[in-house]
Amino acid sequence: MAGVSQTTVSLVLGGKTGGAAISEETRQKVVGAAESLGYVPDPAARRLAAARNNLLGVFSFTATFPTDVQHSYYPFLVGVEQEAAAQGYDLVLFTGSSPGGTGGGTHALHRARLADGCLILGRHAPTAELCRLVEEGFPVVHLGRRDEPEGPAWVGADYVSASREVVQRLVELGHRRIVLVRDDDEAPASTDREQGFREGLEEAGLPVGPETVFRSADPARELTSDRVREWVAGGATAFVAEETDTSAAWRALNAALAGAGLDCPGDVSLALLGSPPPDAADGPTPAGFDIPRAQLGAAAVRLLAALVAGEQASEPLVACTFRPGDTLAPPRRTQPQAPDPSPGPSAPGRGRNRNTRTEQGEPTQ
């Protein structure tokens, strides 16, 4: 229909010229003929011919695939989709919650081989299975830093620098006793935040001991209002919590402070090492830093496309932006105390300011 050879059609529809000089007029003839015929390239045939099908997989290890705009992973997918379109790839979505997924083994991950390569999302993706795919030469990129030297390539945010800056801001306000609340696991996102937190304390000349970090496998149960009161009585004036998929540490910290009757930022300051959960939009914006999720998704696609093409590539850590928020203030001169009971007539002097003035205007002692 276009009046050209099969080779020319293949070069035009494949987006490559292979060194051949193909005019724009010829290219338009081929594209027009394909559109009029309703021709769509067959991915299976392309895979047989070129061992590639221009499909990138996205595999999630969350309970359900994060397509809800209120889900913390949704912005990642926006960046993934936009960059995949710019790179000329289509996407295939996989989920670890399907039969054979994380609930019943890791066999579902093998289905990712339907694509040319795969992006992996999830805080706790299976290390052994990902390393096996890499060993077999399948391009894999994990969205989030990984520790395994022989594991998949990854892209990540610079949580260390961002967490260090949050501590620096608190120190500039005058806080000298700061407590970090985090999940009790060794996920790189958590360890990076703690590293930045400790570096911030060290740079300020503040003590860095075990009492400065509270780790819990179940923050909702173990982080109590009594524990918060003990920290405050011991001089703590600021608290920071890490962000995770569930925001468990942040939610538990807020609940404990409310149970202790402590106001923020009047009594204590708060900071969140990450972006606030969507359901917290009605409350005060917590200070901390924002994770550039869309940029991370786009960077992951660029890296995966390079690996699929057989290129050596890496992506730099993506910087996070500090968020001033509404939960920071200088520490109070004295620590907040539980309110005294109402003074009775037999308790002279109680309920009266110690520095009141007499009728002559002289202060009492």
The answer, yes or no, to whether residue 361 has pLDDT greater than 60, is no
Question: Do 208 and 197 form a contact (C-beta atoms < 8 A)?
Answer: no
Side chain identity at residue 246, one-letter code: T
Phi (first) and psi of residue 343, to 5 degrees: -70, 140
Cα dihedral value 97, 98, 99, 103, nearest 10: 0
Residue 237: what pLDDT?
A: 97
Which secondary-structure segment (H or E) carries 121?
strand 117-121
pLDDT given for residue 359 in this prediction: 36
**pLDDT for residue 331 is more than 90:** yes
Cα 305 → chain centroid: 22
Quote the tokens at residue 24: 């724009």
Task: Name the band, by pLDDT with cuts 50, 70 and 90, for residue 305.
Answer: very high
Using DSSP, state whether 189 is helix, strand or coil: helix
Q: Concatenated DSSP letters for 53-97?
A: -SEEEEEE-SSS---STTSTTHHHHHHHHHHHHHHT-EEEEEETT
Residue type, 310: G
Handedness of CA 97, 99, 102, 108 (dihedral sign): negative
In tens, the pLDDT along 81-109 reads 999 999 999 999 887 655 444 443 356 67
pLDDT in tens, 163-188: 999 999 999 999 999 999 999 988 89
Residue 321 CB neighbours (<10 A) = 11
**327 Cβ neighbours under 8 A, 6+ residues apart:** 264, 265, 269, 270, 271, 284, 285, 286, 287
Q: Say if residue 212's pLDDT is above 80.
A: yes
Which amino acid belongs to residue 202? E
* Residue 335 CB neighbours (<10 A): 15
What is the residue-wise DSSP string for 299-332? HHHHHHHHHHTT-----PPBPPEEE--S---PPP
Report angle CA 154, 189, 328 to the nearest 5 degrees: 135
Residue 277 above 80 pLDDT?
Answer: yes
Chain segment 50-70, per-residue pLDDT in tens: 567 899 999 987 665 666 666
Phi, psi values for residue 6, rounded to 5°: -65, -35
The model's pLDDT over 217-236, given as tens digits with 9 standing for 90+, comes to 999 999 999 999 999 999 99
Tell me if 138 sits within 8 A of 151, measured CB to CB. Answer: no
The model's confidence at residue 342, banded by pLDDT at 50, 70 and 90, is very low
Q: Which residues touch 119 (CB under 8 Å, ≥6 apart)?
A: 56, 57, 58, 59, 80, 141, 142, 143, 300, 301, 304
CB atoms within 10 A of CB 3: 9
For residue 360, pLDDT over 70 is answered with no
First to last CA, the chain: 104
